[in-house]
């Protein structure tokens, strides 16, 4: 019989956490049955069906690193989940549909708050969005603690109800994910070479390409629950199909006026403030793309362990001393180990001054910097 391993949250790092757990136990993956539960109640339901291990990935939560619970959760089969404590705070974290799980948790007397960090687990909280859904937060001490804890993360906190949260997840998760998947499948089924298409790319397509590529490169488990468990998915998908059928008819009839009217309708609904912000953001993205892919750009890579305050200033000084004007700087952390600075110049990438500056940087012993292009 295979060992059943229950995974609480497939939306962040559930798959990698359970594989790491299996490896630490010295088991073969083929000897294990991995069950993605999605919510605490589903974990408890599966535990009543027989022996199981559980891996609860919470790296994206306030709680910190991945926590494995095996013997502790197994006890629930004998003792049940304690729903009686009045002084407890239960946080329901990460699931994209809050209301069903929160309703079960409200059977207890505990304080109940749903949290949904809207970003990848390896990203810092600072500046990111966390949706907080206080289903029951009446105890003054716990209310103060929750507010202070969320404030300390420096994230953008959006207070909501579970029902409102679930409704907006249709808009901010289901619609974009299905749209990107549909576009990726159109390209796939048309047999278009993606790599070759990038030689013809516009900035808009490159942004769209990055969204599609990121989506299809990840585990489908991440998106299956988001799409399948949202009760509004079918309604939105049917509405999308209806819109596309209207588009088909307009294009078949070459009805230019009707086609342009669709743009006008959407523009009015979005409003001038939103479209202004969207255009400004797109211009910023173009600036980043220009730095990343411009002919007069270079990428410097070094290990995260060697990162220290003043490093970017030190690099900039090397170019400044040679009268080289920097037009853009982009930094990114890759795989938790490598950091990259991509820098663009006003001067030619092949100029003598740029060449000598890069040579000097490569000769550093601390930190060791690799020039990638």
Using one digit for the tens of pLDDT, what is the confidence trace for 350-368?
899 999 999 999 999 888 8
Q: What six digits make up the tokens of 102?
A: 């929160």
Of 64, 15, 65, 63, which is closest to residue 36 (Cα–Cα)? Answer: 15
Cis peptide before 337 (omega within 30 of 0): no
- The CA distance from 295 to 345, in Å, is 9
What SS3 class is residue 117?
Answer: strand
213: pLDDT confidence band, cut at 50, 70 and 90?
very high
Q: What is the mean pLDDT of residues 168-190?
A: 93
**What DSSP string describes 190-226?**
HT--HHHHGGG--HHHHHHHHHHHHHHHS-THHHHHH
Domain at 294-371: CATH architecture: 2-Layer Sandwich (3.30)
Sheet bearing 67-69, strands edge to edge: 32-36, 3-7, 53-56, 67-69
Closest CA to 363 of 330, 190, 355: 355
Instruction: State the pLDDT at residue 61.
Output: 38
For 57-67, write each residue's pLDDT tens digit: 544 333 333 34
Q: Assign 193 a pLDDT band (cuts: 50, 70, 90).
A: very high
Q: Tell me the pLDDT band of 24, cut-offs 50, 70 and 90.
A: confident
Quote the CATH superfamily of domain 82-160. Answer: NAD(P)-binding Rossmann-like Domain (3.40.50.720)
Q: How far apart are CA 146 and CA 273, in angstroms?
A: 32
Residue pointed to by tokens 């998908």 = 237
Q: What is the pLDDT of residue 104?
A: 81
Query: 111-124: per-residue pLDDT in tens?
Result: 889 989 888 766 77
């Amino acid at each position: 019989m295979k060992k059943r391993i229950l995974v609480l949250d497939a939306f962040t790092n559930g798959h990698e956490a359970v594989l790491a757990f299996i490896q630490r136990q010295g088991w073969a993956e083929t000897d294990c049955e991995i069950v993605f539960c999605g919510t605490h109640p589903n974990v408890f339901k599966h535990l009543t069906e027989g022996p199981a291990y559980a891996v609860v990935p919470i790296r994206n939560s306030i709680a910190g690193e991945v926590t494995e619970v095996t013997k502790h959760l197994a006890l629930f089969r004998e003792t049940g989940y304690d729903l009686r404590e009045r002084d407890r705070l239960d946080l329901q974290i990460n699931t994209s549909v809050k209301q069903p799980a929160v309703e079960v948790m409200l059977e207890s007397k505990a304080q109940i708050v749903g949290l949904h960090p809207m970003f990848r687990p390896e990203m810092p909280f600072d500046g990111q969005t966390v949706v907080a859904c206080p289903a029951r937060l009446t105890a003054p001490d716990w209310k103060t603690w929750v507010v202070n804890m969320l404030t300390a993360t420096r994230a953008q906190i959006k207070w909501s109800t579970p029902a409102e949260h679930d409704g907006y997840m249709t808009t901010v998760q289901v619609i974009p994910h299905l749209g990107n998947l549909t576009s990726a499948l159109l390209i796939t089924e048309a047999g278009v070479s993606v790599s070759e298409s990038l030689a013809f790319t516009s900035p808009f397509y490159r942004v769209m390409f990055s969204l599609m590529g990121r989506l299809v490169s990840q585990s489908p488990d991440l998106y299956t629950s988001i799409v399948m468990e949202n009760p509004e998915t079918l309604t939105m998908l049917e509405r999308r199909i209806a819109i596309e059928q209207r588009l088909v008819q307009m294009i078949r009839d070459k009805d230019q006026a009707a086609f342009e009217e669709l743009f006008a309708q959407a523009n009015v609904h979005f409003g001038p403030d939103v479209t202004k912000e969207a255009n400004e953001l797109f211009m910023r993205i173009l600036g980043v793309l220009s730095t990343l892919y411009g002919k007069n750009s270079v990428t410097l890579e070094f290990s995260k362990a060697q990162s220290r305050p003043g490093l970017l200033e030190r690099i900039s000084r090397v170019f400044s001393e040679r009268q080289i004007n920097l037009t853009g700087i982009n930094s990114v952390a890759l795989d938790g180990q490598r950091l990259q600075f991509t820098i663009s110049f006003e001067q030619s990438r092949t100029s003598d001054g740029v060449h000598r500056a890069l040579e000097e940087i490569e000769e550093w012993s601390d930190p060791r910097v690799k020039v990638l292009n």
